Amino acid sequence: MNKRIFLSSPHMSGSELGYIKEVFESNYIAPLGEFVNRFEDSIKSYTGAKNALALNSGTAAIHLALRVLGVGTGDDVLASTFTFIGSINAIIYQGANPIFIDSDLESWNLSPKLLNKYLLECEKKPKALIVTHLYGMSADIEKIADICRLHGVYLIEDAAESLGATYGGKHTGTFGDFGIYSFNGNKILTTSGGGMLVSPNEEWINKARFYSTQAKEPFIHYEHEEYGYNYRMSNVLAAIGVGQMEVIEERIAKKRQIFEWYKEFLGDIEEISFMPELPNSRGNRWLTAITFVKTDYHKVMQALEGINVESRPLWKPMHMQPLFLDAKRLVDGTSEVLFGKGLCLASSTTMGRDDVAMITDKIRKVIFKA
Ligand SMILES: *Cc1c(COP(=O)(O)O)cnc(C)c1O
């Protein structure tokens, strides 16, 4: 049996261990230190974000964004329904109400039309929107940002999956009031676990930094006027992040190459559609995502399992989750249909063309019942 091929395995650059050794020599085995600063600087210079804060998860980054923006009990927060729960949990932490907006077929991401419709017709103005750039592909973010500005709604970009993806040459995560990136184990870069909060607003990032370290007031003893969290990133993990950032463009090129290989081998099959890339954008193609028309994706998954290859259904929309049965939504069936027909294919940057050939050969056999 071949070695298992995962959806998206960690892929170290080679410099990480050396940097971790430097951390050990400095003895800054703590949630602060030189590498935390260096990791923040590398994200700033790569994405063009003005301010950055390294945290222990992407979820923590979203939570701090909501807290700093003053989102609290009973507030409404709009969000992409076609996303991973990590986008949404922090809304619940703040006692706010998530309201789910559907995708459009042009991007598979949040529909600017539905967003605008909701904001024109709602009685109570939402405080913020959390928009996800799913599978590393940019949402129609310029339009979405314009709509938010017009209606006075804060914009938080969940770019957990889309580090390095751009729209009009500008990085996803830098269009909004806040952006977040994740460095969990299966993301395009990983620190084993971690996140980054970015914002054009320095005061907000300073406030988020204050909350992320237990909200200690500037006294010689521990003095507290507000409650905080323990959300900072370890210097050891930041050392991994610095090593990973050295190869971000290489990783994106490889992810995009894997997508091209899938297209080469499956592009002639009429019932298969690939997740689109909006004109004027560059996705990082974190996971190659496809839909079938007739073929049952469960059968494809099962066949791929048979050759020890991981695949996963598209994320189940939030408005369909038992947890959110009572949540408000503006949906038109788009994400529901995608979820019913779609699959994420193995897209690890350690894969070669022969791996994609083997996987697609299996998929073709299921489709053509060979
Ligand atoms: C991974 C992910 C998150 C959460 O990030 P963590 O670092 O795992 O907390 C949030 N949103 C999306 C869309 C994600 O894929």
Sequence spans of domains, the chain: 16-245, 248-367
pLDDT > 90? residue 1: no
**Local confidence band at 56 (pLDDT 50, 70, 90 cut-offs):** very high
The CATH class given to the 248-367 domain equals alpha beta
Measured from the Cα of 134, ligand 1's closest atom is: 13
State the Cα–Cα distance between residues 215 and 217, nearest whole angstrom. Answer: 6
pLDDT > 80? residue 22: yes
Mean pLDDT score, 38-65: 98
Atom 8 of ligand 1, nearest CA residue: 184
pLDDT tens per residue, range 82-121: 999 999 999 999 999 999 999 999 999 999 999 999 999 9
Q: What's the chain's average pLDDT? A: 97
Instruction: Take residue 7 and report the two structure tokens written for it.
Output: 């959806």
Q: pLDDT at position 165, please?
A: 98
Q: Could you tell me the distance, in angstroms and rounded to a whole number, from the CA of residue 59 to the centre of ligand 1?
A: 6
State the Cα–Cα distance between residues 194 and 60, nearest whole angstrom. Answer: 9
pLDDT > 80? residue 363: yes
What lies within 8 Å, CB to CB, of 236 at 6+ separation is: 20, 23, 29, 35
Q: Could you tell me the distance, in angstroms and rounded to a whole number, from the CA of residue 313 to the centre of ligand 1?
A: 17
pLDDT above 90: percentage of residues in the chain? 99
Ligand 1 pocket check for 157: Cβ under 6 Å: no
Measured from the Cα of 83, ligand 1's closest atom is: 13
State the Cα–Cα distance between residues 59 and 158, nearest whole angstrom. Answer: 9
Question: Which DSSP letter does residue 180 get?
Answer: E
The residue assigned the tokens 């009572």 is 326
Q: pLDDT at position 61, please?
A: 98
Among 204, 190, 244, CA closest to 61: 204
Longest dimension (CA), the chain: 74
Lowest mean pLDDT among 1-5, 31-35, 82-86, 230-234: 1-5
Q: pLDDT at position 2, please?
A: 77
Mean pLDDT score, 15-44: 96
Ligand 1 pocket check for 342: Cβ under 6 Å: no
pLDDT tens per residue, range 248-305: 999 999 999 999 999 999 999 999 999 999 999 999 999 999 999 999 999 999 999 9
Measured from the Cα of 195, ligand 1's closest atom is: 7
pLDDT > 80? residue 370: no
**Local confidence band at 365 (pLDDT 50, 70, 90 cut-offs):** very high
Atom 3 of ligand 1, nearest CA residue: 86
Among 191, 224, 228, 188, CA closest to 209: 228
Q: Helix count (H) and strand count (E) of the chain?
A: 12, 15
Q: pLDDT at position 184, please?
A: 97
Mean pLDDT score, 53-68: 98
Paired strand residues for 165: none
Best residue for ligand 1 mutational test, from 87, 182, 237 (most atoms within 8 Å of Cβ) = 182
**Local confidence band at 151 (pLDDT 50, 70, 90 cut-offs):** very high
Ligand 1 pocket check for 57: Cβ under 6 Å: yes
Atom 6 of ligand 1, nearest CA residue: 58
pLDDT tens per residue, range 340-355: 999 999 999 999 999 9
Among 302, 246, 233, CA closest to 56: 233
Pairing of strands 195-199, 178-182: antiparallel
State the Cα–Cα distance between residues 345 and 314, nearest whole angstrom. Answer: 10
Ligand 1 pocket check for 132: Cβ under 6 Å: yes
Inter-residue contact 204 to 197 (CB < 8 Å):
no
CA atoms within 13 A on the CB side of 162: 29
Atom 14 of ligand 1, nearest CA residue: 160
Statement: the pTM of the whole predicted model exceeds 0.95: yes
Which helix H or strand E contains 268, and what residues bound it?
none
Question: Which DSSP letter does residue 320 get?
Answer: G
Measured from the Cα of 61, ligand 1's closest atom is: 9
For the four alpha carbons of 192, 197, 202 and 207, in that order, the dihedral sign comes to negative
Measured from the Cα of 193, ligand 1's closest atom is: 7
DSSP string, 77-138: EEEESSS-GGGTHHHHHTT-EEEEE-B-TTTSSB-HHHHHHHHHH-SS--SEEEEE-GGG--
Q: Could you tell me the distance, in angstroms and rounded to a whole number, from the CA of residue 232 to the centre of ligand 1?
A: 16
Measured from the Cα of 194, ligand 1's closest atom is: 7
pLDDT tens per residue, range 169-179: 999 999 999 99
What lies within 8 Å, CB to CB, of 52 at 6+ separation is: 40, 41, 43, 44, 196, 197, 198, 205
Phi-psi map region of 4: left, alpha, beta (phi>0 left; psi -120 to 50 alpha): beta
Ligand 1 pocket check for 179: Cβ under 6 Å: no
Same fold yes or no, 16-245 and 248-367: no
The residue assigned the tokens 């050990």 is 24
pLDDT above 70: percentage of residues in the chain? 100
CATH architecture of 16-245: 3-Layer(aba) Sandwich (3.40)
